[in-house]
Structure 1
């Protein structure tokens, strides 16, 4: 069974057709990149998949569940239980330490467990920075906290929105290596990016233009 099935999805804002009749599926353990220029619809698509917004028409199924007619409360539960989100802007709570930021995700899912949260930080090689506040961390370190937070509840699907967009070259390399490792471990990843060198790491690319699928590519990937 697919992790994700998108069927005939469109999103209209007034007279703007942000997405038009999008259809694709994502299988377990697949790494998919969604690419396109600014205004192509890629961030709108990620918001639909992440259940942060609803399509105007069409269906979005996550592990077989049609999410398009569910209540806001049920959508929150599915997002909490099945989706790990990694944002370009980090969205860390500024007055909480790295480990506490990871534990926030546990709080909304079940019960905070500092031991598990510390293990998640170790997984992203940040065990030595667990007691630091976000302002005491580099951009790359903050993004790795976000990845640890996304992983803590064992999601079926990891969504990443331009995860290296605010990073320098050295930190970009570290973060992308983590995504390589996650993919090798069997995690399902959907990553929005405008950068070809990032998108080419995926098994499959969907390229959007003006809200439509322009092209589907299968990059030749090196080192994965």
Structure 2
């Protein structure tokens, strides 16, 4: 009976020991598995986070590059467009200027006449009028070339007076005037005997001969004392 009780106690003790060992082994396994799982999850999360951060950075860089490229392209287009527009405008302006360019009046298109216009008995002045008889607008701006022909058949070039040329544009029918100025000789002893005025319009090569006005006073001194002034309009 005593032996049986001891055996029973030993069996219970052994069972208890085995039970404790089993419990201890299960707990240790669960903790290890959970820790491993947590580490794996943490590592995965960290990797994912790092991977996600890298993708975002790359995306920003690509986006920045793309925006930079778009900005460059957008900036380039207006410049190109402006250049084209300016080129087109320049061509248009050139064409407009070319189409409205005014040429110099030709001698053959001008009706030219000389008249005495002396304001008094001392100052001699001869007005030479040029009327545009052509069909287009022309320019008579500048100094006409003038020679005075004498009774001895010599001709003498006339010097320019101290004046600046004025723009002289003549539409068909318009007139321009230029003057010959000199001092009148009242002694009656002038050595000049003018018979003709040879006129070459500004920027022309063809000359026309006009009669010296009979009412004009005699020239004091020599022909070198006569001066020609630039053209101007009568308006």
TM-score, length-normalised on structure 1? 0.21
Q: Which has the larger radius of gyration?
A: 2
More helix by share: 2
TM-score, length-normalised on structure 2? 0.20
Q: Which has the higher contact order (CA 8 A, sep 6+)?
A: 1
